[in-house]
Chain A
Amino acid sequence: NAGVTQTPKFQVLKTGQSMTLQCAQDMNHEYMSWYRQDPGMGLRLIHYSVGAGITDQGEVPNGYNVSRSTTEDFPLRLLSAAPSQTSVYFCASQRWDDQETQYFGPGTRLLVL
């Protein structure tokens, strides 16, 4: 199993550009989520999905869109990047069971100029 994979590892964007951060998991997990990690802020939940076709907002959803067309993939879209979105983004997945741990991807480091 590859676990949770994320691409790209690093990206530089100009203000106003759009991009999609990719996340995939091969563990057949129902639950997937996106977090951002900022210095001094800890990790914060952006969006999550409990299954294909179902998504919902987390703590800091503004400026981000998600979709879940398959169980494996959960892309995060930035429609118009802003410097405030400079961060490290982590995708996570979990079997839909409160007893299970979450598995995290290696992260995407995004710099918006």
Chain B
Amino acid sequence: KQEVTQIPAALSVPEGENLVLNCSFTDSAIYNLQWFRQDPGKGLTSLLLIQSSQREQTSGRLNASLDKSSGRSTLYIAASQPGDSATYLCAVHSGGGADGLTFGKGTHLIIQP
């Protein structure tokens, strides 16, 4: 059974810092990996999707990497801003394709002004 772990569970940094969120998964047979953002009381917003054949994806100040063989992904946030404060979720799409996503428990990020 696929298991997804996110470290750290919570992170607080001053505005302007670059930071890295980590995600690990136990079964490397994946179709893709997604990073989501969730604001308090809201739904999930997809940030980046990395296919199993890709090594990284970039969107603005966000860069996500994937090392499938080692079961790891990182989300890099450059020049953090208070508006980046949210919970970041890593999710893996594996199995037979219809099995849905397996989520980590998330990293709660606070950017101090």
Contacts and interface: CB of A to CB of B under 8 A. Distances in A.
Contacts of A45: 99-101
A69 B103 CA distance: 28
A40 to B, nearest CB: 7
Nearest to A3: B43
A48 B97 contact: no
Contact of B97 (A40, A59, A98): A98
A43 interface: yes
A14 to B, nearest CB: 24
Contact of B89 (A41, A43, A98, A100): A43
Given A33-B100, A45-B101, A107 B51 contact: no
B40 to A, nearest CB: 11
Interface residues of B, number: 25
B72 interface: no
Interface string A70-100: 0000000000000000000010100000111
Interface residues of A, number: 27
A102 B103 contact: no
Contact of B100 (A58, A98, A104, A106): A58
* 5 A-B pairs with the lowest CB-CB distances in the bound complex, closest first: A45-B100, A104-B44, A43-B103, A42-B103, A106-B43
Given A43-B103, A90-B44, A98-B31, 12 more contacts: A33-B100, A42-B104, A43-B91, A48-B98, A50-B98, A56-B98, A58-B100, A98-B93, A98-B97, A102-B101, A104-B44, A107-B41
Interface of B: 4, 31-32, 34, 36, 41-46, 49, 51, 89, 91, 93, 97-101, 103-106
Interface of A: 4, 31, 33, 35, 40-45, 48, 50, 56, 58-59, 90, 92, 98-107
